[in-house]
Amino acid sequence: MGQRAFIFPGQGSQEVGMGQDLYAAEPAVRALYDEAAAILGFDLAQICFSGPEEELRQTRVTQPALYVHGYAMQRLLRARGIVPQMLAGHSLGEFTAFAAAGALDFAAGLRLVQVRAEAMGRAAAQQPGIMAAILGLDFAALAALCREAGAVGSVAIANFNSPGQLVISGSRPGVERAIELALAAGARRVIPLAVSGAFHSALMAPAQSDLRQALLEAPFAEPEAPVYCNVTAEPCSGIAEIRRLLEEQLTHPVLWAAQIERMVAAGANQFIEIGPGRVLAGLVKKIAPEVEVCAAGRLLDLEHFA
* Predicted pLDDT of residue 230: 98
Residue 211: domain span: 3-125+203-305
Whole-number Cα distances in Å, 254 to 119, 153, 156, 201, 250: 19, 21, 12, 10, 9
Q: Which CATH number characterizes residue 164's domain?
A: 3.30.70.250
User: Residue 70 in 3-state DSSP?
Assistant: helix
Which of 143, 164, 196 lies at the terminal end of a domain, its last residue? 196
Task: Summarize the confidence of residues 157-175 as an average pLDDT.
Answer: 97
Total number of residues shown for the chain:
306
- Whether residues 114 and 136 share a domain: the answer is no
Supply the angle between the helices 106-126 and 27-40 in degrees, to the nearest 10: 50
Q: Are residues 111 and 161 in the same domain?
A: no
Say how many domains are in the chain: 2
Last residue of a domain, one of 167, 196, 225: 196
pLDDT digits (tens, 9 = 90+) for 110-156: 999 999 999 999 999 999 999 999 999 999 999 999 999 999 999 99
Task: Tell me: do 180 and 219 sit in the same domain.
Answer: no
> According to the model, what pLDDT value does residue 200 have?
98
How far from chain centre, in Å, is Cα 263?
17
DSSP code, position 225:
S
In terms of Cα–Cα distance, which of 263, 283, 280, 264 is closest to 272?
Answer: 280
Q: What are phi and psi of 92, to 5 degrees?
A: -50, -35
74 and 210 assigned to the same domain: yes
55 and 182: one domain? no
- From the list 31, 22, 1, the residue with the least C-alpha distance to 77 is 22
The catalytic position among 13, 69, 90, 91 is 91
Catalytic site includes residue 200: yes
DSSP 249: T
Residues 118 and 33 both lie in one domain: yes
Set 154, 200, 201, 252: catalytic member: 200
Instruction: Quickly count: other Cβ atoms within 10 Å of residue 111's Cβ.
Output: 17
Q: Note whether 93 and 12 are same-domain residues.
A: yes
Give the mean pLDDT of 248-264. 98
281 shares its domain with 297? yes
Closest CA to 204 of 65, 43, 11: 11
Q: Are residues 150 and 29 in the same domain?
A: no
CATH number at residue 107: 3.40.366.10
Final residue belonging to a domain, choices 178, 196, 214: 196
Rounded Cα gap, residues 15 and 136, in angstroms: 27
47 and 156 both lie in a single domain: no
Same domain? For 142 and 96 the reply is: no
Shared-domain flag, residues 143 and 34: no
Is the preceding peptide bond at 64 cis, omega within 30 degrees of 0?
A: no
201 is catalytic: no
d(CA 263, CA 259): 6
pLDDT by residue (tens digit) across 63-118?
Answer: 999 999 999 999 999 999 999 999 999 999 999 999 999 999 999 999 999 999 99
Report CA-CA distances (Å) from 183 to 7, 40, 187. 32, 42, 5
Confidence of residue 303 (pLDDT cuts 50, 70, 90): confident
Distance of CA 49 to the CA centre of its chain: 20
Query: Measured between alpha carbons, how far is residue 100 from residues 79, 93, 170, 257, 289 in Å?
Result: 13, 10, 31, 21, 26
Coil, helix or strand at residue 117: helix
What b-and-e string marks burial along 244-255, b requiring 16 or more CB atoms within 10 Å of the CB?
bbbbebbbbbbb
